[in-house]
Amino acid sequence: MLFLVSKLMPRFIARSLAVILLGAPILLLIITTASFDPTRFARLPTMSQHIGLKSRAVGLSHHVINSITPDFALKTILSGPPSFVACMVIAFILPCLFPDLATWLPDLVMGAAV
């Protein structure tokens, strides 16, 4: 399955997906042993990858935008995302400090899990 994923998707998506698929069983054992909620912990790798794609160090999203709109300079494109990255870091930290915040809205809409 991992071979098909790497052939059908671009390499940057396949690598991050491979890290999650290979690391999830090991992390699940550690998470359940440490009595963390796996649902709340599952968002951490996803959010950290999104932050990484928008940060200047990796900035893969910047190069995609630059290839779509070559009229704008890369310097102009790089000046926009720091505010979004800051918001994403805050959205990453808040549920870590207040764990019930991560499932508050789904619990409100769908009812609390049994």
Q: Coil, strand or helix: which one is 1?
A: coil
The Cα–Cα gap between 47 and 100 comes to 17
> What pLDDT score was predicted for residue 112?
76
Q: Which residue bears the tokens 């979004």?
A: 84
Phi, psi (5° rounding) for residue 106?
Answer: -60, -35
- Contact assessment for residue 55 and residue 89, using Cβ atoms and an 8 Å cutoff: no
CB 81: neighbour CB atoms within 10 A? 19
The Cα–Cα gap between 111 and 113 comes to 7
Would you write out the chain's pLDDT as a tens digit for each of its 114 residues? Answer: 444 444 545 555 566 677 777 888 888 888 889 888 787 777 777 788 778 777 766 667 777 777 788 888 878 877 777 888 888 889 888 888 887 887 788 888 988 766
> What pLDDT score was predicted for residue 4?
44
Q: pTM of the entire structure? A: 0.60
